[in-house]
């Protein structure tokens, strides 16, 4: 009997790492827009933060012309109380924002700007962008701030030329004291007014089946105080409490001793993109949302903090999961459904999946399995249709992994609804991937797997962006033939991490790389594209396993119209395939999508498609020659 392939089997895993959200997918161009950033310090079990309300902001043209201070007196709101007080001592003085590496706007795109301000006397305000050498590139119209109460102001910038590394500057036309808070600066082409266009286009082109968010370790936090709390991410963006990002202290613990401050101490989370916006993005991409919920544990790698599962506080974590489902799906008459409707989406988001814990494992002190049981029962008692995903821990080789399956396997056999799939993670070498193409062949069929985080890690001595080589992509493509062939066990799969901003990385390799103005998919991105776009609904039973001794891997699937034959040749010789051995294959006009290159080849800002997917028309017979170092998909009519 043929195997059915889960709809949307190949999807996305998104976490705010490598400045992938703020500074990346979130199209906001400014840093510390609410003057509430924290400077992050410390190492395992010893983290602390220092308020840094003026991080990213500096006087223009000099500190002698304007005095900038931070205040919490008479704030815009009590959630993010810090704001900027500017004592303007010279007409034409102001302040600038670091904006990561400056403002980049393509000709004609323009930007929508807003801010809150108050002043004791009428003050003229202009939003300007200057070049690195001080030339004015664009200016808003005059904005007159005259109220002593907080008032929102909006304006726009229309640029007639490309802007590169521009300095975002707020200029006052006259002297006086004026207060500012909650700046916003979005390109006019931002998708849904929120998301960076080129990055969203790369995601949409993948046609992902699902998106797992918001993590990853961000879900847990390095301590429970900075875990991701979804209820703090909904409602007006001005009233979302800024949070420090656990990746700000990544690397502070190492083999050479602990350090107090890392390379990215100001990596914060504005929460300008929260759960509502994640759901909107999934809707836009046409994929299923898969939110992951904290189970009362901080990151087990970085902290021993937990909420005892017998405590009343633990019940709050369970209730958060129930309330999230109500926020996503509940009728507008419910508490959280009404919040969603007020934000602009009265219709249900039709949430079907939820993750219980991120990368948790059982220990003498951590009763993860009990925690999962409590969450699962509470969710299914109220929402039996929701599919819960468990966790097999941080790897697939340790006792954590074996303990997890010893727990989940018998319960899934007795009740398939107990866990829709168990989340497995593996960041491994190319040799491991080639050697484990068939790892899921031996899984009992009642076990269901979500390969939630995986990637091939090679080239450790290279600069971060050069570790995404075609050699790594070849190994991933070969391994993924095993995922597709075992589609009755593996229900979902997603590469990790998704994004990395050049010069701002904490983890590599990554699927998509970008800088302030450009973006490109790695060779691994195109492998994901092959599987997400060219996989059918039914596996075709073929046996080309004898070719694997030459490192050639084949998998075949079909839907009602097309057949998809994937051929990965990671060997060093031409190999001939007898396509007549494939039931239902018809010779004739076909399309071939192919990747090829040297194993050390990488994509880059300068050569974004050096290794990418090339389409060609072909008239095929029953024999196909696969060349070394190629990944091909033959698409033919049924």
Q: What is the mean pLDDT of residues 373-397?
A: 98
359 noted as active-site residue: yes
Return the HEC string of 107-170: CCCCEEEEEEEEECCCEEEEEEEECCCCCEEEECCCEEECCCCCEEEEEEECCCCCEEEEEEEE
Query: Among 127, 153, 187, where does a domain finish?
Result: 187
pLDDT at 615 over 80: yes
Is 514 inside any structural domain?
Answer: no
Mean pLDDT, the chain, whole residue set = 97
Q: Report pLDDT for 275.
A: 98
pLDDT at position 255, please?
61
Residue 347 lies in a domain: no
Strand-pair category, 10-13 with 210-213:
parallel
The pLDDT of residue 45 is 83
44 pLDDT band (50/70/90 cuts)?
A: confident
CA-to-CA distance for 68 and 63, rounded, in angstroms? 8
Say what percent of the chain tops pLDDT 90: 97
User: How many independent structural domains does the chain possess?
Assistant: 2
Distance of CA 103 to the CA centre of its chain: 22
Of 445, 380, 377, nearest to 412 by C-alpha is: 445
Q: Which two tokens stand for residue 240?
A: 């979302």
- Residue 116: predicted pLDDT: 98
Average pLDDT over residues 547-565: 97
Q: What is the pLDDT of residue 110?
A: 98
Q: What is the pLDDT of residues 493-525, one digit of tens each?
A: 999 999 999 999 999 999 999 999 999 999 999
Neighbours of 555 (CB within 10 A): 23
Using the 3D structure, point to which of 133, 168, 187 is the last residue of a domain: 187
State phi, psi for 58 to the nearest 5 degrees. -150, 160
The CATH number of residue 161's host domain is 2.60.120.260
Residue 401 covered by a domain: no
Q: How confident is the model at residue 250 (pLDDT cuts 50, 70, 90)?
A: very high
Q: What pLDDT digit, counting tens, does each position of 47-86 carry?
A: 999 999 999 999 999 999 999 999 999 999 999 999 999 9
**Whole-Å CA distances, 286 to 184, 209, 328, 388, 531:** 28, 8, 16, 21, 17
Examine residue 116 and state whether it is found in any structural domain, yes or no: yes
- Domain membership of residue 603 (yes or no) is yes
Q: Is residue 503 one of the residues assigned to a domain?
A: no
In whole angstroms, give the CA distance from residue 238 to residue 292: 24
Given the residues 15, 359, 362, 376, select the one marked as catalytic: 359
Which CATH number fits the domain that encloses residue 614? Answer: 2.60.40.1180
The answer to whether position 605 is within a domain reads: yes
Per residue in 190-234, pLDDT (tens digit) is: 999 999 999 999 999 999 999 999 999 999 999 999 999 999 999
Q: Which of 164, 199, 14, 169 is nearest to 86 (CA)?
A: 169
Whether 42 shows a pLDDT value over 80: the answer reads yes
**pLDDT tens, position by position, 267-296:** 999 999 999 999 999 999 999 999 999 999
The domain in which residue 551 lies consists of 545-637
**Residue where a domain stops, chosen among 123, 155, 187:** 187
Question: What number is the average pLDDT over the span 81-108?
Answer: 98
What pLDDT shows up at residue 1? 67
Residue 140 placed within a domain: yes
pLDDT for 256: 61
């Amino acid at each position: 009997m043929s195997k059915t392939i889960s709809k949307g089997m190949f999807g996305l895993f998104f976490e705010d790492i490598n400045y992938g959200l703020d500074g990346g997918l979130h199209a906001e161009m400014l840093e510390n827009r609410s003057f509430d950033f924290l400077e992050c310090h410390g190492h395992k079990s010893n983290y602390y933060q220092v308020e840094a309300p003026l991080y990213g902001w500096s006087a223009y043209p000099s500190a002698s012309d304007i005095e900038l201070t931070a205040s919490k007196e008479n704030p815009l709101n009590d959630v993010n109380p810090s704001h900027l007080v500017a004592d303007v001592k010279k007409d034409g003085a102001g302040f600038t924002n670091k904006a990561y590496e400056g403002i980049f706007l393509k000709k004609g795109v323009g930007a929508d700007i807003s801010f809150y301000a108050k002043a004791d006397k009428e003050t003229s305000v202009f939003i300007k962008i200057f070049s690195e050498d001080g030339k004015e590139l664009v200016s808003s119209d005059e904005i007159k701030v005259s109220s002593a109460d907080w008032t929102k102001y909006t304006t726009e910038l229309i640029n007639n030329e490309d802007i590169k590394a521009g300095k975002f500057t707020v200029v006052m036309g006259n002297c006086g004291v004026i207060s500012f808070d909650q700046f916003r600066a979005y390109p006019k082409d931002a998708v849904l007014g929120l998301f960076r266009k080129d990055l969203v286009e790369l995601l949409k082109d993948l046609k992902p089946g699902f998106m797992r968010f918001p993590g990853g370790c961000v879900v847990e936090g390095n301590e429970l105080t900075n875990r991701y709390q979804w209820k703090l991410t909904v409602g007006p963006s001005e009233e979302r409490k800024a949070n420090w990002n656990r990746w700000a202290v990544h690397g502070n613990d190492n083999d050479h001793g602990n350090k107090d401050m890392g390379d990215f101490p100001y990596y914060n989370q504005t929460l300008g993109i929260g759960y509502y916006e994640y759901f909107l993005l999934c809707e836009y991409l046409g994929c299923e949302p898969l939110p992951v919920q904290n189970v009362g544990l901080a990151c087990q790698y970085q902290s021993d903090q937990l909420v005892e599962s017998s405590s009343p506080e633990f019940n709050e974590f369970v209730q958060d999961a129930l309330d999230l489902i109500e926020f996503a799906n509940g009728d507008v008459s419910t508490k959280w459904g009404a919040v969603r409707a007020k934000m602009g989406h009265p219709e249900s988001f039709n949430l079907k999946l939820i993750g219980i814990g991120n990368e948790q494992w059982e220990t003498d002190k951590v009763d993860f399995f009990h925690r999962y049981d409590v969450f699962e029962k509470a969710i299914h008692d109220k929402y039996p249709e929701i599919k819960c995903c468990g966790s097999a821990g941080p790897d697939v080789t340790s006792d954590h992994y074996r303990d997890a399956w010893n727990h989940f396997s018998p319960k899934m056999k007795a009740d398939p609804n107990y866990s829709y799939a168990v989340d497995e993670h593996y960041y491994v070498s190319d040799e491991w991937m080639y050697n484990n193409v068939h790892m899921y062949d031996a899984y009992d069929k009642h076990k269901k797997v979500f390969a939630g985080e995986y990637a091939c890690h090679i080239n450790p001595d290279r600069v971060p962006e050069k570790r995404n080589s075609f050699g790594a992509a070849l190994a991933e493509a070969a391994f993924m033939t095993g995922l597709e062939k075992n589609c009755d066990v593996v229900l979902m799969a997603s590469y990790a991490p998704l994004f990395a901003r050049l010069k701002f990385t904490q983890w590599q390799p990554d699927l998509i790389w970008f800088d302030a103005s450009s973006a490109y998919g790695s060779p691994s991105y195109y492998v994901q594209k092959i599987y997400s776009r060219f996989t059918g609904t039914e596996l075709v039973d073929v046996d080309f396993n004898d070719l694997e001794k030459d490192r050639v891997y084949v998998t075949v699937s079909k839907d009602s119209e097309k057949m998809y034959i994937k051929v990965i040749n990671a060997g060093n010789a031409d190999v001939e395939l007898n396509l007549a051995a494939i039931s239902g294959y018809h010779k004739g006009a076909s399309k071939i999508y192919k990747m090829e290159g040297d194993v050390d080849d990488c994509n880059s800002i300068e050569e974004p498609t050096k290794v990418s997917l090339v389409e060609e028309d072909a008239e095929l017979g029953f024999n196909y020659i696969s060349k070394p170092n190629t990944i091909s998909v033959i698409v033919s009519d049924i």
